[in-house]
Structure 1
Amino acid sequence: MAAAVSVFASPAELGEALAGLVAARAAARGGAGRFSLGLSGGSLVELLAKHLPPALRRPERPAEPWLLALCDERVAPGPNPHSTARHYRERLLPQLPAPAPTVLVPNAELGPDGAARDYGERLRQAFPGAAIPVFDLLLLGLGPDGHTASLFPGHRLLQETEEIVAALTDSPKPPPERVTLTLPVLNAARTVVFAVTGEEKAPVVKRILEGNEENPLPAARVRPHSGELLWFLDEAAAKELTIPVEKHSGL
């Protein structure tokens, strides 16, 4: 399925649109039960902390339970200032309206291998009967090298087909020890959104969206089997694209 590319005038406008999408997809569950959302770190934390709580204060929002789970995490025991889970706990979770979501994050105290095994088991418990967890919505970022979650170019984990969570101890981006969802989980989601801002990402955005490489970058390997793939870009990240895009307010 081809990706739908939306371009926004600024990170703030992108953040508002992303928050609106999350709120709309949660509301669309209606009385169908839990809404499952996979979260990445980096700039997404700040975007969601600023824009998602206001989007969820609308009176039409149903009080359906949410499941929040991390797409990847840095593994460092103790009070790690780089922990994605810590950033979400401090900046976003206290602002979310009731009912409080169920939150699943890797346990860094177990080390990378132990954390991956434990996180995988808890995800399977959260998605009973499913060989691969199917998230309603996954929010992904993009590195200048084309990595997403903690899946890096040329890394062995790009070939993983069995495990739903994997550990790595050789991340080219520090810290080296991490836990990540694998491509089978990313490609099973009902909707995947890449949220990308900044001029430094423009070359890799063009390479992924306009290229046809024999050995594609990790983010280019995210192609949901039966779901939809959306790219939300700010004007700076989209500046090198020549393909048709949907431009939003302010452009």
Structure 2
Amino acid sequence: MSNSQSHLYTFPGKAELAESLQQYVLKAEAAALAHHDTFRVAVSGGSLPVILAEALLGKATTPQFGKWDIFFADERAVPLDHADSNYFLLKEEFLNKIPAELGSPSVHPIAEKHANQDDDPQQLADLYQDELKRAFTGGENEALPIFDLILLGCGPDGHTCSLFPGHSLLQEKTAWVAAISDSPKPPPKRITLTLPVVAAAAQIAFVATGGGKKEIMRDIFDSEDGCGLPSSLVNKAAGDKVSWFTDSPATEGVAYPRG
């Protein structure tokens, strides 16, 4: 656990947020490429792909997408072309909009053959963990994969990835990828990076916008009652490796100091 504190940044609107997020991502990319010539990123769904497109596409300074390895912080057990698929959302809102001259990221989706709500998602989780091991260790055993950057959202209940408040998966210590069959949000069957994997990343960025988030943001940053929420646990475990990119409506009434 870290004793340092996460950073909270608040912007008047999404345009200013996107501009700051662009600089943050490019800095993380530069650090990763200087170290191992690959930028390993995990992303979640929700509104994040749209904000990524706004932050990174059509700008004077652009990422080296050909050196990106994109993984999924969580995914639903559905086909890759399903409306509930995080891969489908990222593809439609971000990947398909990258100009060819900027290069194409290497994208690591789930094994579609086993992406079915009628099946046990554990096999899907095991296969994705194997994919991470091939990408990070060449198949050798390693304690944890170290992502260069994990980009996350925060639900109105404080969940992130598919780690939900009070769920037993918050206690998982050894698996890299876990299965969930009882998600309180549909669809119920999913896979998710575990809390230790998220916390091990070199950098972690949350994006939270809109007035619908202000109550949970107060719980996460200002209330002892919120300390057990999944997003709060990431803050606690990763400390100053965590940066929150928010707009003014999302942080209305939050007393936590801005970064």
TM-score (norm 1): 0.89
Partner of 1:22: 25
Q: 1:131 to 1:178 in 2, by over 3 A?
A: same
Partner of 1:249: none
Task: Note if contact 1:19-1:51 (Cα within 8 Å) is conserved in structure 2.
Answer: yes
Task: Note if contact 2:147-2:200 (Cα within 8 Å) is conserved in structure 1.
Answer: yes
Partner of 1:102: 106
Structure 2 residue 93 is the aligned partner of structure 1 residue 80: no
Structure 2 residue 179 is the aligned partner of structure 1 residue 167: yes
Cα displacement string for residues 40-92 of structure 1 (whole angstroms, at most 9, x for unaligned residues): 1101011112221234x537x56761111110011123631121101112221
CA distance in 2: counterparts of 1:224 and 1:25, whole angstroms: 20
Q: Which amino acid aligns with 1:169?
A: S
Q: Structure 1 unaligned segments of length 5 or more: list them.
A: 247-251
Task: Note if contact 1:190-1:226 (Cα within 8 Å) is conserved in structure 2.
Answer: no
Once the two structures are TM-superposed, the CA of residue 161 in structure 1 deviates from its matched residue by 0.5
Partner of 1:123: 132
Q: 1:19 to 1:237 in 2, by over 3 A?
A: same
TM-score (norm 2): 0.87
Task: Note if contact 1:137-1:192 (Cα within 8 Å) is conserved in structure 2.
Answer: yes
Which moves more between the two structures, 171-180 or 12-21? 12-21
Partner of 1:239: 252
Task: Note if contact 2:226-2:232 (Cα within 8 Å) is conserved in structure 1.
Answer: no
Which moves more between the two structures, 159-168 or 217-226? 217-226
Task: Note if contact 2:87-2:109 (Cα within 8 Å) is conserved in structure 1.
Answer: yes
Task: Note if contact 1:202-1:238 (Cα within 8 Å) is conserved in structure 2.
Answer: yes
Cα displacement string for residues 87-123 of structure 1 (whole angstroms, at most 9, x for unaligned residues): 1122211333543221112224314222111100000
Moved over 4 A (4+): 61-64, 224-227
Partner of 2:118: none
Task: Note if contact 2:80-2:88 (Cα within 8 Å) is conserved in structure 1.
Answer: no
What aligned pairs does 1:190-209 form with structure 2 within 5 A after superposition?
190-209=202-221
CA distance in 2: counterparts of 1:139 and 1:233, whole angstroms: 13
Cα displacement string for residues 127-173 of structure 1 (whole angstroms, at most 9, x for unaligned residues): 10532110111111001111000000111100101111011110000
- Give the one of 3, 7, 13 matched to 2:6: 3
CA distance in 2: counterparts of 1:104 and 1:15, whole angstroms: 25
Q: Which amino acid aligns with 2:9?
A: S
Secondary structure of 1:47's counterpart equals helix
Q: Which amino acid aligns with 1:233?
A: T
Once the two structures are TM-superposed, the CA of residue 16 in structure 1 deviates from its matched residue by 2.2
Cα displacement string for residues 168-197 of structure 1 (whole angstroms, at most 9, x for unaligned residues): 110000110111100011010011111100
Q: Quick one: percent identity of the two aligned structures?
A: 37
Considering fraction of residues, name the structure with more helix: 2
CA distance in 2: counterparts of 1:54 and 1:133, whole angstroms: 32
CA distance in 1: counterparts of 2:93 and 2:208, whole angstroms: 20
Secondary structure of 2:128's counterpart equals helix
CA distance in 2: counterparts of 1:49 and 1:215, whole angstroms: 32
Secondary structure of 2:224's counterpart equals coil
CA distance in 2: counterparts of 1:187 and 1:198, whole angstroms: 25
RMSD after superposition: 2.1
Secondary structure of 2:144's counterpart equals coil
Partner of 2:52: 48
Q: 1:212 to 1:131 in 2, by over 3 A?
A: same
Q: 1:164 to 1:10 in 2, by over 3 A?
A: same
Q: 1:206 to 1:214 in 2, by over 3 A?
A: closer
Q: Which amino acid aligns with 1:67?
A: D
